[in-house]
Structure 1
Amino acid sequence: MLRNFLRPVKLPASADWGILILRVGISLLMLTHGYAKLKGYMGGDSSFADPIGLGQEFSLILAIFAEFVCSILVILGLVTRAALVPLIITMLVAIFIIHAQDTFDKKEHGLSFLISYITIFLTGPGRFSFDRNLFR
């Protein structure tokens, strides 16, 4: 079952190119957010929101894992669907908890990431991924 979950879906070549561009592009954009958090954390700044009651530092570590580590995995197309789960959860928390009281324009950024992640989750990483070779 896990193998089927991680296996890429066969798509036309043009769709594979589109997924590659979406996967790498959106992940590079998110990577900048994760890198900034990682850099701050490594510099001793562990202040962060505690949206679900896990503590500020642990919440920050989870955000860094999702935004930095999982973004790298999505760029590589390595265990892509599994790597998207923390990213999707992070965006759901950002949109519906952190920015719950904000106007739509504040939520729009997170929604753009969320829509992209759900799209990649549903299509899989495409032909140009490590997953294709690992879970053929």
Structure 2
Amino acid sequence: MKTFTNTNFTTSQVDLVLIILRIGVGVLMLTHGLPKLQMLFAGGEIQFPGVLGLSPAVSLALAVLTEVVGSILIIIGLGTRWVAIPLIATMLVAVFVFHINDPFANKELGLLYLVLYFPLLILGSGKYSVDQVINSVQSPVTVEE
């Protein structure tokens, strides 16, 4: 029982949680971004609201960029902290602009994604990521004799 109440986590445990979080939130957000990507390239009239004075096409392109490209980068762990910023901004717009007058149930999913992106912003991608590979190449471990 003491194991369940332990609050001293190893780096390996944190890295495992981060990869699960990255893959989970990335794949789930892709399910929202891919239909927008299809809408963007469908060729017809864009049925997407303009945001903050931007045209519907620009708003849709920005949503696609963050939700599709950003999610892929989150999944592989490349630039995770940087990519979390536009994803957080996208969720803020979704919750507080698109769904501002909607019932809480319509805001809940955006708020959940918003909450999930903050640990990635703070902790980064963890050991199992492209960021880690890049960091290890840039600063290789040296063994002192």
Aligned-residue CA RMSD (Å)? 1.1
Aligned residue runs from structure 1 range 40-51, under 5 A: 40-45=39-44, 46-51=46-51
Amino acid at match of 1:86: P
| Structure of higher RCO (CA pairs closer than 8 Å, 6+ residues apart) | 1
1:80 is matched with which residue? 80
- Quick one: distance in 2 between partners of 1:89 and 1:106? 18
Shift of 1:12: 1.0
Structure-2-length-normalised TM-score:
0.83
Deviation, 1:37, is 0.6
- Name the counterpart of 2:135: 135
**What amino acid does structure 2 have at the position aligned with 1:13?**
S
Give the Cα separation in 2 of the matches to 1:41 and 1:103.
Answer: 28
Looking at CA atoms only, which structure, 1 or 2, has the larger radius of gyration? 2
Give 1:72 deviation, angstroms.
0.2
Report how many residues are paired: 126
Q: 3-state SS of the aligned residue for 2:112?
A: helix
Match of 2:55 in 1: 55
The residue identity in structure 2 corresponding to 1:92 is L
Query: Aligned equivalents of 1:98 and 1:51: distance in 2?
Result: 8
Aligned match of 1:19? 18
Q: CA deviation at 1:39?
A: 1.1
* Aligned equivalents of 1:44, 1:115: Cα separation in 2: 34
CA offset at residue 51 of structure 1?
Answer: 2.1
- Gaps of at least 5 residues in structure 1 are 1-10
Q: Secondary structure at the match of 1:135?
A: helix
Q: Note if 1:92 corresponds to 2:95.
A: no
* Structure-1-length-normalised TM-score: 0.88
Partner of 1:8: none
Structure 2 unaligned spans of 5+:
1-9, 137-145
Find runs of 4+ consecutive structure 1 residues off by over 4 angstroms.
Answer: none
Equivalent position SS for 2:82? helix
| Superposed CA offset, 1:26-79 (max 9, x none) | 110001111111012211242211121111000000000000001000000001
- Give the equivalent residue in structure 1 for 2:140: none
Deviation at 1:95, TM superposition (A): 0.6
Note the alpha carbon deviations across 1:11-32, whole angstroms, 9 max, x for none: 6101111110011101100011
2: distance between equivalents of 1:93 and 1:108?
Answer: 13
